[in-house]
Structure 1
Amino acid sequence: MKKLFTLLVFSMLLLLVACSDSNSGTQKESEQNTDNTKQEATTESKEVNLYTSRHYDVDDELYKAFEQETGIKVNVIKGEPDELLERIKREGDATKADVFLTADVARLFRAKEDGLLQAVSSDTLTQQVPEKFQDADQMWYGLTKRARVIVYNKETVKPEELSTYEALTEDTWKGRVLIRSSENVYNQSLLASFIEIDGEEKAKEWANGLVANFARNPEGGDRDQAKAIAAGIGDVAIMNTYYYGQMLNSAEPEEVKVAERLGVFFPNQDTTGTHVNISGAGVIKASKNKDNAVKLLEYLTAPAAQAVFAEANYEYPVNPEASSSELLTSWGEFKEQDIPLSTLGDHNAKAVMIFNEVGWK
């Protein structure tokens, strides 16, 4: 069974994580006394408090592996991203939060703009996370990445009919396009990327053209768009790759059936590239355990942990030295948009304004 195989591979990868060389750029202070007593010379806490909006089992397993390797306890507080940010603001300097981890650059940008994060200087993070996937001021770093692609009904659409995001605004796709609400941050960042590449006017033209081709008013999440294709409501949808991977390997047979009827297409390969976003994290400005927080980020961006993310949750590694999963590899390499991801946060407000102007619900 797929699930059993994945669990087996996952267990093997966890062993790799536990045995990997944690080449941390923030090393412990060495103790200079030669006494046989094993008294610790540091008052630093052996814990790190993580506020995260991610809810995947793989994350929890990696935190446990980190604890086993370092002896640092990871206290996990989960919640919706905006709620967590408001909680950190409300708690102020008294907050227990050390790390904020969430999906989408726009949320990390918001945390930075609100003055909740601090700069982190780590040679290890700089080496493990490409410049494109980290904040210019070292306030946040990417942990995983996902592409926002076109999925299509293999019975009604041939892949050669697909080309770019822009082409989905053509008359041939009228009444055939599915996508979630404009309130969704993934769509806001997608439009923000178009603003960065082509300017506001062309971005607005695209959004307006896509609205004209909607198969229905936006509703539900990415998986719901895939299910709507299988139900014959539309023929193509824009969704994140990891959702599609999760459906292909779902414990629910119906989700697997839906996913198997679909194909995945990486748009704009001959032009500007496919839109890519991240899950990422930053160290809280009022952190009481900064060194431990940095160690956790270094651990999660190391090749072994990156491979676990890819295998168990179908997310692309940000670390170029990490191996990807068999499924992701089977989709082939693809050209990514060549823009600093921080610009997605810069243009978020403009993207929301455009969505409102064109009537994207």
Structure 2
Amino acid sequence: MAGQTITLYNGQHEQTTDALVKAFEQQTGVRVKVRNDDEDVLAQQIEQEGSHSPADVFFTENTPPLARLEEKGLLSPVQRTTLSQVPSQYDAASGDWVGVSARVSVLVYNTTDLTPAQLPKSVLDLADPKWKGKLDIAPSETDFAPIVTSIAQDKGDAAAVSWLKALKANAGSHQDPDNETLVANVNKGVTELGVINHYYWYRLRDEVGQKGLHSALAYFAGGDDGYLLDVSGAGVLKSSTHQAAAQAFVAFLVSQAGEQVLTKSDSWEYPVGSGVTNPTLPPLDSLHPRQFDLSQIGDGTKAVTLLQQAGLL
């Protein structure tokens, strides 16, 4: 394998992937050519390229793009020894892709404007008109889609659309293009609260320092529709002409060495492979997210449809 070059289509955060790639190259002698883009854009490109795709591995921030390729039969089964390093709830039931890291959806709030006692216990409560002009949303973010799917599966599609329309009304002009903007707005007091994945707040804390921090995180009630674990994953393309090297890269991602790279990076994600933990975060087993099978999220098309019906996409 040493001396080979594989192509990675990367939808994960670039800084995290760069650190993982560097460590893998040093360990194996395999060179990794990285193409960075939005994970949905990359998934669409792989579909269009079909059996001629130059991609060997697809690494995503969320599972729906992997599920799309899985459904179309474009992924090779991940090696069993690799899958065995990760609890099965973080992998595809088919074994076509493996979970690498996890984030939890949380509420971020401005600590000057709100106290913990004033915070909603459920994501559904954000539809209350009392949050009009105070709520910030980033509906086009891929992290938001699983919450929409969760509500639709629990309450029905009509209820999910009604909830989304209420959020749109409450947010008004505060519909941000990404979670980085959302968390910055809440921290500055432009808005008072919003839903994000936890790591955006930790990265903001690194950026502004303790003196510049005017926000905090809070969890919804255990099992709430908005309290989810989102998983980053990776899979090998069936069309890859470097199957062994591609499988080795995916195996590295969930190995102790790979997960330690993740833990020591500034990604602030939870490693899910090889029993590695991130001591700088609340323990993963101390969280109480909704028990939501990753297969229930599917390829993300339902969430997109509902967001479009609500006028948020």
Structure 1-normalised TM-score? 0.77
Residue type of the alignment partner of 1:80: D
User: Are 2:177 and 1:220 aligned?
Assistant: yes
User: Are 2:9 and 1:63 aligned?
Assistant: no
User: Are 2:33 and 1:75 aligned?
Assistant: yes
The correspondence for 2:145, drawn from 165, 172, 188, is 188
The correspondence for 1:177, drawn from 114, 135, 140, is 135
Q: Tell me the CA shift for residue 126 of structure 1.
A: 2.4
Q: Provide the rounded CA distance (Å) in 1 between the counterparts of 2:248 and 2:276.
A: 18
Q: Which residue of 2 aligns with 1:337?
A: 290
Residue type of the alignment partner of 2:34: V
Q: How much is the aligned-residue C-alpha RMSD, in angstroms?
A: 2.6
Q: Which residue of 2 aligns with 1:125?
A: 82
Query: Structure 1 303/329 Cα, relative in aligned 2: closer, same or farther at 3 Å?
Result: farther
**Corresponding residue SS for 1:213:** helix
Moved more, 212-221 or 233-242: 212-221
The correspondence for 2:215, drawn from 262, 284, 290, is 262
Q: Provide the rounded CA distance (Å) in 1 between the counterparts of 2:309 and 2:182.
A: 23
Q: Which residue of 1 aligns with 2:191?
A: 234
Q: Tell me the CA shift for residue 55 of structure 1.
A: 4.3
Q: Tell me the CA shift for residue 72 of structure 1.
A: 2.4
Q: Provide the rounded CA distance (Å) in 1 between the counterparts of 2:226 and 2:188.
A: 30
Identity %: 28
The correspondence for 2:268, drawn from 306, 310, 314, is 314
Q: Which residue of 2 aligns with 1:13?
A: none
| Deviation sequence 1:119-143 (CA, Å, 0-9, x none) | 2241x32222222211111111111
Residue type of the alignment partner of 2:236: V
Structure 2-normalised TM-score? 0.88
* Structure 2 segments unaligned to the other structure (5+ residues): none
**Corresponding residue SS for 1:143:** strand
**Corresponding residue SS for 2:60:** strand
The correspondence for 1:211, drawn from 165, 168, 185, is 168
User: Are 2:155 and 1:198 aligned?
Assistant: yes
Q: Which residue of 2 aligns with 1:360?
A: 312
Q: Provide the rounded CA distance (Å) in 1 between the counterparts of 2:79 and 2:274.
A: 20
Q: Provide the rounded CA distance (Å) in 1 between the counterparts of 2:179 and 2:89.
A: 25
Contact 2:110 2:216 in 1 (8 A): yes
User: Are 2:282 and 1:324 aligned?
Assistant: no
Q: Which residue of 2 aligns with 1:349?
A: 301
**Corresponding residue SS for 1:100:** strand
Q: Provide the rounded CA distance (Å) in 2 between the counterparts of 1:277 and 1:345.
A: 13
Q: Provide the rounded CA distance (Å) in 2 between the counterparts of 1:78 and 1:204.
A: 32
**Corresponding residue SS for 2:231:** strand
Contact 2:270 2:277 in 1 (8 A): no
Q: Tell me the CA shift for residue 85 of structure 1.
A: 3.1
Count of aligned pairs between the two proteins? 311
Query: Structure 1 49/331 Cα, relative in aligned 2: closer, same or farther at 3 Å?
Result: closer
